Amino acid sequence: MDFHDTPEEAAFRAEAIRFLERHAVRRAEHAEEIVSFFEDEGTESEQLDWVKSCREWQHTKYESGYAAIAWPTEWGGRGGSLIEELIFAEEEQRFEVERGAFLISLGMIAPTIMAYGTPEQRAHVSRILSGDEVWCQLFSEPSAGSDLAGMQTKASFESGGWVITGQKVWTSGAHYSDWGYLLARSNAKVPKHAGLTAFVLPMNTPGVTIRPLRQMTGGSSFNEVFFDDVRLPDTSRLGDPGAGWRVALTTLMNERVSVGGNTTGYRSWGGLLHLARRTGRDDDPIVRQRLADIHIMLQVLRFNGYRALTAISKGESPGPEGSISKLAFVRVTQAMGSLLMDLSGAAGTLVCDESQWFLGGPGVRIGGGTDEVMRNIIGERVLGLPPEPKPTPAHQ
């Protein structure tokens, strides 16, 4: 495959660069900083400033037609090609811009609302695209992580509306989100996958309590969220009653692509090379091999994302390639974290961007689906291997 620009692609790249140079500051050609693994961490004031910057940049792109280049125009996109979307993303990485607050909103929730939302709910898509709304995903529970369908948060239909009771945990960005996308159990008498229903709700709804969780990285980007008799109208339901698992699968497929498409590794690559040189380890053959391995994994992430983005641009749900991207992101994250700590020496014991890469790595193996779940999906749906044996019920 030839990845060189055609004349038309080169013209679009030049156009994108002109836009970026008008509205943003270019990073140094060989940036020497390590980008924070958790970009939304810091003090409460710093987090709010970061979200504000993300909103402003998202709105700037929206006003100029660069917020969703490959999306159809009816969804607020540009109606451009997938390769144009990739070209813009590649150039955007070279500039000092903040966008991480919309990773979940644009990468996971907007495609789900497009697929299952009512006309009124679909109006949220343009507000996400313009930077007016930040969303969070309310899935995981204390006893329902990899076994997501085992969740216990309850949705009861009463007097034409719904009453939500329960708890979610590890909710990224709940403390600064305007809206939430919730999955809850609406029927306990049917098989667990058949008894779920999805909802959308404002995060300031009475009965919703958000408590940030302090992590070993020193930050608090995750939260636990409590629902105490939260009342929602039936218009808050996303999809049919009991169809929540089908709705959630659309989100999960997009989530794995979105996690795998995280650009923090690319942006920290120059800093990693600089650290190796500054510590005099760039001539160490083992360090050089580890650097080469990381570079290769970053390229695997980049090119595997093409297939997934092709599906999304056609209005389809991404397939098992999302699991490949997610697993590759886990591997490169842990490889970078380990090498950064080895190169940093004693300084790596301090709370810094290098240590965040190392401390944040284990969490990436869980969020968006564990390594084991990803390998099962790849084995069964890509390699055609027999499915993992199911446990025999105790009564048989």
CA distance 298 to 380: 25
Catalytic residue among 84, 255, 321, 354: 255
Please choose, from the candidates 171, 248, 158, 161, the residue with its C-alpha nearest in 3D space to the C-alpha of residue 208: 171
| Pair 139, 148: CB distance under 8 Å | yes
Q: Give the β-pairing of 222-233 and 237-238.
A: unpaired
CA distance 124 to 130: 10
181: amino acid identity, one letter: Y
Can you state the angle between helices 264-278 and 321-344, rounded to 10 degrees? 20
Token couple for 19: 């836009």
CA distance 131 to 141: 28
Please choose, from the candidates 236, 225, 242, the residue with its C-alpha nearest in 3D space to the C-alpha of residue 163: 236
152 in helix, strand or coil?
coil
Query: What letter would DSSP give residue 234?
Result: G
Is residue 255 part of the annotated active site? The answer reads: yes
Please choose, from the candidates 134, 81, 93, the residue with its C-alpha nearest in 3D space to the C-alpha of residue 110: 134
163 in helix, strand or coil?
strand
Q: Where are the alpha helices (DSSP H) in 279-369?
A: 285-313, 321-344, 353-364
Q: How far is CA 249 from CA 111, 280, 361, in A?
A: 11, 48, 25
| Pair 221, 227: CB distance under 8 Å | no
Task: List, by residue number, the catalytic residues.
Answer: 255
